[in-house]
């Protein structure tokens, strides 16, 4: 939420006073102003009277001495929150020494209302971990978080103070989280508008159209870091291949333009040479007609022969050059056709995962749309399974990212060999895969996943000289008549989660 000018907040406060029919008292005005601004105005701090109270407070027991020290520090720092905490501590402890002793000996931490150290540290870590997600736009919430973390990590923080500070922090935090959610939604909408505009403007350009579709897929919620990393890796590979093929195609087109210009230039020279030869022949014929002796004809014949030889030589050279141009043109045409095929193949990767060769999310959505339409038209069952590799993080840490990628390729290869030709395999994200099983009910789908698990146990994944056993947990769901693919995948995901909780390397039907 953008910061508003104080004058705007003041005008809105006056409007709300009238709208709510409140008395225009300073207290009502201040309360409404704080509500609209999302802040809490500081109260005037009575240093003198509080110092007088401090001098008469008892300080005979260790608990009273500690509270008196906190009271003095609260006055110096003008901290209402700490002051309230001290007063609550005195109220729980008892103002008279005689009353303090039995309470202290019975249960000092409970009477004082202090936070357990483990809970205080857990709350501090929670706040530390929350701040990075909020960015640095709201300086006030960051300042409040730092103060709260510092307080929680002090020795024996009072519960009452912690409760008050947490309440203030969560109130301010609610505004910050609303801002971040609104910013994220607006950015995604802007990105989609840009990508849709690119796709509309590039209908005839398959290269750019493929890019736009891939970017739209990447920015479609729900977004996860794992999915974004996967999409980023795929897009980098596609962009590199498309850029390279596009540059080579443009180079070939420029060379063809140069050859065409040379061809036209050569034709112009042939035409000029022919025109010159025809003029020479006409002039020689006129001279021969006017000649009165053989001596007059001889020079003319010599000129005719020279012009004819030159014309023949030019024609032979032009023929050879044109033949060479023709051969080069054919070669370039074939090269352009080959490059276009490469470009189309690169654009098609917007629907396939470059690592495993399986469908990606975009390809899966299109395939599911076709299969759902077919299943409902034919009245046949359609089943899908969501697979997740077991212990993939530890596998990745032990073998490295290259080893983890090789394990994913191994799983995809075994799956393609075991499953039926009509079954579709897609990489859903990270180490998750979706298998679409046409003409299959849920019981048969679960049995198929169990067979795939058994097959994987007989095919060890080799990483160097080490044999690695790969297992997965799977959830299987059959689409109902009115269910969307997203809902079915969600049910399969929930069943897969139950399979993980049941001991992994299991198959659960949704």
pLDDT tens for 362-400 read 888 888 988 998 899 889 999 999 999 998 888 888 888
CATH 3.40.50.1700 fits 361-509, yes or no: no
Most confident of 113-117, 173-177, 182-186, 448-452: 448-452
> Which of the residue ranges 106-115, 324-333, 397-406, 471-480 would you say has the lowest mean pLDDT?
106-115
The predicted structure's pLDDT at residue 453: 93
- Is the predicted pLDDT of residue 73 greater than 70, yes or no? yes
If you average pLDDT over residues 430-434, what whole number do you get?
91
Active site residue 35: no
pLDDT tens for 272-307 read 666 666 677 677 677 667 666 656 666 766 666 676
The predicted structure's pLDDT at residue 99: 40
In whole angstroms, what is the distance from residue 234 CA to residue 256 CA? 33
pLDDT tens for 144-166 read 888 888 888 888 888 888 888 88
- Is the predicted pLDDT of residue 109 greater than 50, yes or no? no
- Is the predicted pLDDT of residue 111 greater than 50, yes or no? no
- Is the predicted pLDDT of residue 261 greater than 90, yes or no? no
Place of tokens 């749309």: 369
* Tokens matching residue 2: 């953008």
Tell me phi and psi for residue 474, to 5 degrees.
-140, 145
- Is the predicted pLDDT of residue 1 greater than 70, yes or no? no
In whole angstroms, what is the distance from residue 229 CA to residue 235 CA? 10
Which is more confidently placed, 139 or 507? 507
- Is the predicted pLDDT of residue 342 greater than 70, yes or no? no
Which is more confidently placed, 383 or 316? 383
Which is more confidently placed, 437 or 9? 437
- Is the predicted pLDDT of residue 474 greater than 90, yes or no? yes
The predicted structure's pLDDT at residue 102: 39
From 335, 431, 443, 455, the catalytic residue: 431
178 pLDDT band, cuts 50/70/90, is confident
* Pair 216, 200: CB distance under 8 Å: no
* Pair 173, 141: CB distance under 8 Å: yes
Which is more confidently placed, 258 or 410? 410
In whole angstroms, what is the distance from residue 146 CA to residue 474 CA? 44
Most confident of 85-89, 236-240, 262-266, 450-454: 450-454
What percent of the chain has a predicted confidence (pLDDT) above 70? 66
* Tokens matching residue 403: 């080893």
What mean pLDDT value characterizes the chain?
76
448 pLDDT band, cuts 50/70/90, is very high
The predicted structure's pLDDT at residue 401: 84
101 pLDDT band, cuts 50/70/90, is very low
Torsion angle of the four alpha carbons 3, 8, 11, 12, in this order, in degrees rounded to the nearest 10? -40
Element (H, E) at 389: strand 382-389
């Amino acid at each position: 939420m953008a910061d508003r000018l104080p004058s705007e907040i003041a005008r809105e406060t006056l409007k709300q006073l009238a709208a709510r029919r409140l008395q225009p008292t300073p207290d009502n005005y201040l309360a409404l102003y704080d509500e609209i601004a999302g802040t809490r105005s500081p109260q005037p701090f009575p240093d003198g009277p509080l110092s007088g109270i401090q001098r008469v407070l008892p300080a005979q027991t260790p608990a009273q001495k500690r509270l008196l020290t906190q009271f003095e520090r609260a006055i110096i720092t003008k901290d209402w929150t700490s002051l309230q905490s001290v007063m609550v501590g005195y109220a729980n402890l008892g103002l008279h020494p005689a009353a303090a002793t039995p309470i202290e000996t019975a249960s000092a931490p409970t009477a004082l209302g202090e936070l357990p150290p483990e809970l205080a540290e857990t709350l501090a870590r929670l706040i530390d971990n929350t701040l990075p997600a909020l960015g640095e736009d709201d300086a006030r919430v960051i300042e409040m978080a730092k103060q709260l973390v510092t307080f929680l990590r002090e020795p024996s923080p009072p519960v009452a103070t912690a409760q008050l500070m947490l309440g203030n922090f969560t109130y301010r935090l609610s505004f910050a989280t609303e801002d971040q959610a609104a910013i994220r939604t607006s950015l995604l909408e802007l990105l989609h508008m840009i990508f849709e505009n690119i796709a509309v403007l590039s209908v005839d350009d398959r290269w750019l159209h493929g890019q736009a579709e891939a970017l739209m897929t990447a920015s479609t919620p729900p977004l996860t870091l794992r999915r974004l990393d996967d999409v980023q890796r795929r897009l980098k590979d596609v962009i590199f291949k498309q850029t390279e093929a596009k540059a080579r195609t443009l180079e070939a087109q420029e060379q063809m333009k140069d050859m065409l210009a040379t061809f036209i230039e050569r034709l112009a020279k042939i035409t000029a040479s022919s025109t010159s030869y025809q003029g020479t022949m006409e002039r020689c014929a006129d001279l021969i007609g006017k000649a009165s002796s053989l001596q007059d004809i001889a020079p003319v014949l010599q000129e005719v022969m020279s012009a004819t030889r030159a014309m023949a030589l030019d024609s032979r050279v032009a023929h050879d050059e044109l033949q060479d141009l023709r051969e080069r043109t054919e070669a370039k045409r074939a090269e352009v056709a080959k490059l276009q095929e490469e470009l189309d193949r690169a654009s098609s990767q917007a629907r396939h995962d470059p690592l495993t060769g399986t469908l990606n999310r975009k390809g899966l959505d299109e395939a599911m749309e076709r299969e759902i339409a077919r299943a409902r038209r034919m009245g046949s069952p359609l089943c899908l399974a969501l697979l997740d590799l077991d212990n993939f993080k530890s596998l990745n840490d032990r073998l490295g990212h290259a080893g983890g990628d090789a394990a994913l390729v191994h799983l995809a290869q075994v799956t393609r060999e075991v499953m039926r030709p009509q079954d579709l395999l897609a990489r859903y994200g990270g180490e998750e895969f979706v298998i679409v099983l046409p003409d299959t009910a849920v019981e048969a789908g679960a049995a198929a996943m169990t067979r795939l698990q058994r097959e994987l146990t007989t095919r060890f994944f080799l990483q160097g000289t080490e044999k690695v056993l790969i297992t997965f947990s799977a959830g299987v769901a059959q689409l109902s008549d009115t269910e969307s693919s997203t809902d079915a995948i969600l049910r399969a995901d929930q069943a897969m989660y139950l399979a993980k909780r049941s001991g992994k390397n299991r198959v659960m039907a949704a």
